[in-house]
Structure 1
């Protein structure tokens, strides 16, 4: 009987797929994805399920759907008297033609973000690798580093002595789109046992974001580890130069194979006696210190990336970053495990929910992320000269919807910042408060911090919601401020945000046009006036009215803490708004709350209509409506919007998530957004269901989103979760790429289950 393979231990809840098993023509525009690498705001790339480096998101706000043809790991194995096996650890067809690529299924890919693993079944010895970047809760230093670590494990269970070499080939990758990065020059760097190759770019035609930028590939020597390298080989050839050098004797010649400086390679060789196991690391680090908004080749504002706070701003840090990673990666991984393991081991949480929650975090690194360490040029000071010592942060709504830190959407998923990176949450809300006070004369809450082609954090609300007078944004701001205060009792923070809260509260009072103490949706113009921006609401709506009641609940508490006399007026508004919302929208005959009072389908039901309840029930506030009616409404949402969706497993209950709305007779409303299933909204709904005691309904609702994202072969949305799909999981929107900000709302459900 063959011995069981001796690989790295991998959690059973890790997502798993055969290496290179890419579905043909799925709905996803990019199914060859995987773990995102690189710290917050450092630039990011994925190590994909075909064992390739890509896609890419190096430039803030940009996305490049490419996989490196010259970047890969390679194995040379010689076991006993058997002939050597030399293979490239990727099945991606873009790889160099002379390289001996893996066949589909010769390895298994596992993902539980921020960690990933690959095991290989095509060698005599047992070879596996794990890889990660140091994404660590309550850590703002290492979590910002531009670095990725791979640790190989080689276990010899044969009866023969074996030799194994691992080579990493690395080209000078493009930056983003057609932006120039040239003037290549490679250097050997050594410090004690550490050895690295630095790939630099210096040329007068480079843009500011690429000039003097550098990559580093590095490893560590020891008495058991032989390290060799090639300082230059031709990335534009067929790959035979570096392949032949490695294949001939399992080592590299410590020299240049050409003068192009277009690529480099580093190799580690170990010998193993029978029964012996060895591990050794590789590190990829990079140093692109500048972020530029506006015209990348012309005028624009420049910022320093967050990691430059620790490594300087002179574009010479990649080797130092690699050395720190080689020194400390075990400690970093231990801190990651300290966070992950209690969740992994929690028997109350289903495996699929753990899988979804961790893996949706890819977007926090790969979502066009910005995280800064100061203004470089373009303005004399930060916006209005306010708290320049903070660290501004955003992810894009999506690459197709290029808005920075979209505020209505973050309401669903920002629990991950509030709980795990609270300084990011604090700084984000303070910046929003600044915009409310100083940017808009009406003191509305802006939709976003701007868009990268313009001037984020100076020119707010690029989407234009201030002109359309969205009715959900001010309430969401008030609720988010309350959540942060409730969690951390930060009096200074509340003092700072309180003027903005009062101003945006006064603005919202003016949106009551009929004297019922509730905002009135009118949706005049080409875009509707809430997060459902193509689904028009009219009169009193459950969505905006419920959020307003929830905001008044929060404001009443904060006014008491501030000892502000406005508390009396807030309490009056709250009492009347809550009563009127219930009276106007409760549909006794059907047992749910209607969508609004004056639209084409006022008796319709909205999946996300009770979103204002979530922050109240989670953070010490009263329910926005009678509890028994909330439960009845959520049960009806399940009956009308979840159960009838496509049933993939034959149990009579749909596995797609919750459609956004239905008419009272169960038919579709016939509006694009109403007839869509929003992944993040379904997860958020599931959290409310679970809290309301509808636990089976909650988990079935959320499982449908998980199934469409991670299991369904016709969709293949893993690490690319769309904002929306139609019943059955197809027709995603936006379509290319699909990746979207909101699905991290799955953490609302996971944390609810763990309470």
Structure 2
């Protein structure tokens, strides 16, 4: 793998293109990732013996799940393949998502909560038709994705030249530019999804808008039509199950304007769903529809109508089509046609929606209502209402998005790549298998907390491959994104976890690593996760069964750290009063891990924390540091609540633990990995300051607990060894190194680069004033994933020096929002707006969309301008 620095970066300064943000992830349609990544590289020979038993037990577990007709929560035998095709996903938060590739293809569907299908559906397209003097002079499909099923839709022309297209993503918006030089026409498609900070209704909508701008730079008047085609389903066998039907609609959307379109009705495992596609009909835009056509046929009934007339044969009857038979699929089309005078511009507006308000998980024990149904109480046939609302509302969505993003984008002192990454990494908050539901009254897991009742329940996957909801040791890193943007969802999630603390689930479980029998949930501890979408989340927690997690040393502590951090941000005393007794229970149950009575908890020499293949024994920098931070927060919570005896108790525990931590872990240059006699006890761990990071982020800097000179020395050691020691410092932070800077080879995880850990480390550096070092560290992760390995919009948990990756589309990279937290809290001057001249990343002035071929770097990837020094001005 070749990673490059600022002077060698493949991202060149870009020209400002009118109508596009200066920052974001930008590639031409010709871009192809030349790097071949491989999933989960095999452990080294010396590491294999510890995994033999796990492998055998996992194989038995995998077969058992398959016999039950369910997927294992981690399917190591069917890992996601490297597909560098993805772009900005469509849809709000918690109601399913539809992926769209950077070359225009629709892909990666998540209709059923938490379950994905990775298929490019070739019938889902936009088609352009240009006519002059009543004759078609140009007609093509606006997608450059390679085709696999060329027999279907064989009458359609898929030959749009990829060298004439450009894609730009700045989540939750994206722009696709199509230049047609032979007719001096340029098309710009802007897609907009309702992802709006601090909005708890519209943000949940399963919908997106496509706003097309047509520029006619020729000397002739033209007639242009754009046609949106869409078929039922997700590109799976289920699409051919039969019983699918369509229906045209015309619904008022904006004054005298109407949303004209088609709904396609389908069921997913008994859950009703309707897809809707529509276009806005105005005085300048005529809309026609095709209610049904065969997506597996030639497609001539759509193509020829456009070729001959420039529009579709109108079918606006409200009568439904006959339901499909088994083996059939159904597609529909909506066409918007407008006249564009020479030298002028025209506009067409489309919307896509999917209405699936009632959902079940695989166990089918409860029916849940998605959050958006609070606005649109439908029975699964309301896609037309959603389409009309989208066409009416997208301008206000866009205004809110710009108000949110502009202060960051206009800052003169933060690097361009970060302005892209901070928003584009947020894709996972919607495309992470996310489900946002109303509480179910009367069920065993009903929550009575007012926040949950008012704002609903929220869950997202650890990863699209690691299918567990709200995995807590990982969410700890990503929680800054929720707290900053949708704090009520973070609080709701915390209430759900708080409700599990004292509960026990005695269902028997065999743990795969050691074959030991145990129970699903032990009382008086935080569970690993809230459940598997293939089961019944919230009711049966702890889908993870590789290790027993009641003995994990970090989970209880992370709950305490988040409770106080959340309180410090929200000042919600009701929340603190509710959570404090739970935190006390967790401290008491965690005290048993202090095996030698020195006031410091001890790791057990087996997998008992988030680095579940990299064992710690005795006192450790990671868990010991968080233990001290948690005690410091207990002192502060007791003080806030006026409980002086608790304050005194926890202060005494803290003082004793601190003395032991300094004696056992501090070596004069950094905090040792642990206090054992293992060969890696003195390794330099990238995440050794995890406790200090959260403590300072929560406004509880304690110079006695973590002396400033210790922090600076430790960060300097990490920066030298774990960051600068690999690819010149442009690869992120490797988890572990030996004191001489070589890799710690004691486990597969110690030699991995974890994207979220790199971002958290960068946030810690920035909190401590190491701003340039922090941004350079974070840039490495962004650079590797988005500019080298082609992992855009599927950022993994981990990557390696040999171009391997593990767990695509993962939760932890949302930790980049901890950097934003650090900037806003400790360095707000860096977020001051730039002058207009400083906003641009090039001094060459504006260019038009017809000049798009000038704006891409040498390898075709423009991730935002390279890792400029954070304080360059």
The normalised TM-score by structure 2 is 0.80
Q: Is the 8 A contact 1:535 1:672 kept in 2?
A: yes
Q: Which runs of 5+ in 1 are unaligned?
A: 647-652
Cα pair 1:281 1:326 within 8 Å, conserved: yes
Q: 1:412 to 1:568 in 2, by over 3 A?
A: same
CA distance in 1, matches of 2:682, 2:541: 36
- TM-score between both structures, scaled by the size of structure 1: 0.92
Whole-Å separation in 2 of the counterparts to 1:81 and 1:482: 68
CA drift at 1:153: 0.6
SS at match of 1:121: strand
Which residue, out of 804, 827, 839, partners 1:731?
Answer: 804
Instruction: Tell me the secondary structure at the aligned position of residue 357 of structure 1.
Output: helix
Q: Post-superposition shift, 1:116? A: 0.3
**Given the superposition, is the C-alpha separation of residues 196 and 216 from structure 1 closer, same or farther in structure 2, using an over 3 Å criterion?**
farther
Residues 573-652 of structure 1 correspond to what in structure 2 (within 5 A)?
Answer: 573-588=653-668, 591-598=669-676, 599-623=678-702, 624-646=705-727
Answer yes or no: is the 8 Å Cα contact 2:501–2:526 preserved in 1.
yes
- Per-residue CA deviations over 1:281-327 (Å, capped at 9, x if unaligned) read 100011111221234xxx43321111111111411221111111111
Asked if the contact 1:349–1:753 (Cα under 8 Å) also holds between the matched residues in 2, the reply is: no
> Hey, what does 1:220 align to over in structure 2?
280
- Residue 368 of structure 1 corresponds to 433
Aligned match of 1:659 in 727, 731, 734? 734
Change (3 A) 1:7 1:634: closer
What are the residue-to-residue correspondences of 1:205-216 with 2, within 5 Å?
207-209=269-271, 211=272, 213-216=273-276
1:46 is matched with which residue? 99
Corresponding residue for residue 18 of structure 1:
28
Asked if structure 2 preserves the Cα contact closer than 8 Å seen for 1:58 and 1:176, the reply is no
- Aligned counterpart in structure 2 of residue 454 of structure 1, from 530, 535, 546: 535
Is 1:500 aligned with 2:582? yes
User: 2:472 matched to 1:407?
Assistant: yes
Whether contact under 8 Å (1:41, 1:371) holds in the other structure is yes
3-state SS of 1:151 partner:
strand
The one of 746, 761, 784 aligned to 1:708: 784
Provide the residue aligned with 1:682 in structure 2: 758
Matched, 1:74 2:127: yes
Alpha carbons 1:442, 1:507 under 8 Å: kept: no
Report the secondary structure of 2:805's partner residue: coil
Distance across 1 between alignment mates of 2:665 and 2:114? 41
Q: Is residue 100 of structure 1 aligned with residue 157 of structure 2?
A: yes
Q: Where in structure 2 are the equivalents of 1:364-513 lying within 5 Å?
A: 364-375=429-440, 380-383=443-446, 389-390=453-454, 391-439=456-504, 442-464=523-545, 467=549, 469-513=551-595
Whether the aligned pair in 1 keeps the contact of 2:251 and 2:385 (CA below 8 Å) is: no
1:7 deviates by: 7.3
Shift of 1:58: 1.8
Are residues 1:269 and 2:337 paired?
yes
Distance 1:644 1:409 in 2: 26
Q: CA deviation at 1:340?
A: 0.8
Kindly state the Cα deviation for residue 428 of structure 1 after the two structures are TM-superposed: 0.4
The DSSP-based 3-state class of the residue aligned with 2:732 is coil
Q: Give the whole-Å Cα distance in 2 for the aligned partners of 1:20 and 1:366.
A: 25
Partner in structure 2 of residue 650 of structure 1? none
Q: CA offset at residue 20 of structure 1?
A: 5.0
Alpha-carbon RMSD across the aligned residues, in angstroms, is: 2.3
Tell me, yes or no, if structure 1 residue 692 matches structure 2 residue 768. yes
1:433–1:500 Cα contact (<8 Å) kept:
yes
1:298-317 mapped onto 2 (5 Å cutoff)? 299-317=364-382
> How far does residue 113 in structure 1 lie from its aligned partner after superposition?
0.4
Question: Per the alignment, do residues 20 and 266 of structure 1 end up closer, same or farther by CA in structure 2, a change over 3 Å counting?
Answer: farther
Aligned to 1:649: none
Question: For 1:227-238, what aligned pairs fall within 5 Å after superposition?
Answer: 227-238=287-298
The counterpart of 2:355, out of the listed 287, 299, 305, is 287
Give the whole-Å Cα distance in 2 for the aligned partners of 1:384 and 1:395. 18
Return the offset for 1:681: 0.3
Indicate the SS of the match to 1:311: coil
Does the alignment pair 1:740 with 2:810?
yes
Q: Residues 176, 310 of structure 1: CA spacing in aligned structure 2 closer, same or farther, 3 A cutoff?
A: farther
User: 2:835 matched to which residue of 1?
Assistant: none
Structure 1 range deviating more: 268-277 or 677-686 = 268-277
Q: 1:292, 1:306 → 2: CA distance?
A: 14
2:819 is the alignment partner of 1:749: yes
Deviates more, 1:490-499 or 1:270-279: 270-279
In structure 2, what is the equivalent of residue 146 of structure 1? 206
Question: In the superposition, relative to structure 1, how do residues 355 and 7 fare at CA in structure 2: closer, same or farther (>3 Å)?
Answer: closer
- Look up the SS of the partner of 1:228 in the other structure: strand
Alignment match of 2:795 (pick from 699, 712, 721): 721
- Secondary structure of the corresponding residue to residue 688 of structure 1: helix
Within 1, Cα distance between the matches of 2:201 and 2:241?
27
State how far apart, in whole Å, the 1-side matches of 2:593 and 2:142 are: 60
Asked if the contact 2:765/2:774 (under 8 Å) is kept, the reply is yes
Q: Residue in 1 aligned with 2:612? A: 533
